[in-house]
Structure 1
Amino acid sequence: MPFSPIPRGVYPSVTSLDPKKLKEKGITLVLADLDNTLVPYKVLEPSPEVAAWMAALKEEGIDLFLLSNSRKPGRAQKFAQQVGIPYQGHSGKPKKAGYFKAMERMGRTPKETIMVGDQIFTDTLGANRAGVTPLLIKPIRLAGNPGRYIRYAAETPFRLLGGRRPFL
């Protein structure tokens, strides 16, 4: 499988990913990162817009699965239980094993799965390694950790390249 940090498009947020268009592309499973993808860091409740997007996925018959590297005890679990979706914490992204385990649990293949996340070197790289289509979104909020600014700066060339090859 390819060792590539380049996503299939860069999108403003998860809500810009139209569930109808995903379904038309044959997508039946969305693996999603938690922090800075579905909600800001430390937040346990989706915004009304994200909640509506999650409901629209369900209406289209697309399962949402929380694939998180979060090491905070119970964070991914609490969020997933609150919104009623399956989850996997400590997923080890960018290792492909976490992606395969999630797809196996959901009975899906890489061809019918996308990964939505805000980070190149975990979400996108891991998805590409597992043969899953990676869709990159802009992080919800960078504030609070100077290391994030450095990491996102290092990701800039890959974000620019990914923006030239949209999936939707």
Structure 2
Amino acid sequence: MAFSLIPDRVYSSIFEIDGTELSRHGVSLLLADLDNTLAKYGQPDPEPAVQQWKCGLAEAGVELFLLSNSRKPTRAGHYARCLEVPYLGHAGKPRTEGFFRAMEQMGRTPAQTAMVGDQIFTDILGAKRAGVLALMVEPMELRGNPGRYLRYVVEEPFRALGRRR
């Protein structure tokens, strides 16, 4: 398993990720983190723009799958049901088991899969270890948890290297 903390690509938000471009590169499954990637912490339902983005992915032949580490028992399930996508909560990222369970459930290989998330030490490291394309987005918000500021400061050199790719 690979060990890298450098994302393959870095985007401002999920809305810059184009399903047609993913499809051109053989990606037909996009695993997505929930908190600070698709939704702000505590936001219970998907915004209409996220719904539209998911539909754009589907039109390009890319299925969305929610892969969340959320410790709240119903958070990932509720959000995924509202978005009408499959999900795996308590995924245990950066361990690879959740990635492989999601790919198996969807009948995909690592070469057909990408992961999008906002954190280097869970989303990107896990994606790299699982052999899937690692896409990083800037966090939606940092306020509310001082630990987040510190974590994102430590991650910034890796984000910067990813932006150069």
Q: Secondary structure at the match of 1:27?
A: coil
After TM superposition, give the deviation of residue 48 of structure 1 in Å: 2.4
Counterpart position of 2:10: 10
Q: Secondary structure at the match of 2:31?
A: strand
Counterpart position of 1:32: 32
Q: Does 1:43 align with 2:14?
A: no
Counterpart position of 2:19: 19
Using the size of structure 2 for normalisation, the TM-score is: 0.98
8 A Cα contact 2:69 2:91, kept in partner: yes
Counterpart position of 1:74: 74
CA distance in 2, matches of 1:75, 1:91: 13
CA distance in 2, matches of 1:47, 1:72: 20
After TM superposition, give the deviation of residue 49 of structure 1 in Å: 2.0
Q: Secondary structure at the match of 1:92?
A: coil
Q: Secondary structure at the match of 1:10?
A: strand
Counterpart position of 1:91: 91
Which piece of structure 1 moves more, 7-16 or 44-53?
A: 44-53
Q: Secondary structure at the match of 1:126?
A: helix
CA distance in 2, matches of 1:90, 1:46: 19
> How many residue pairs end up in the alignment?
165
Counterpart position of 1:131: 131
CA distance in 1, matches of 2:24, 2:96: 26
8 A Cα contact 2:19 2:61, kept in partner: no
| Aligned-partner residue type, residue 155 of structure 1 | E
CA distance in 2, matches of 1:52, 1:93: 27
After TM superposition, give the deviation of residue 75 of structure 1 in Å: 0.2
Provide Cα deviations, 1:98-135, integer angstroms capped at 9, x if missing partner.
10111000000000100000000000000000001110
8 A Cα contact 2:46 2:82, kept in partner: no
Counterpart position of 2:119: 119
After TM superposition, give the deviation of residue 73 of structure 1 in Å: 1.4
Provide Cα deviations, 1:76-117, integer angstroms capped at 9, x if missing partner.
000001111000000000001110111000000000100000
Regions of 4+ moved over 4 Å: none
Query: Which runs of no fewer than 5 residues in structure 1 stay unpaired?
Result: none
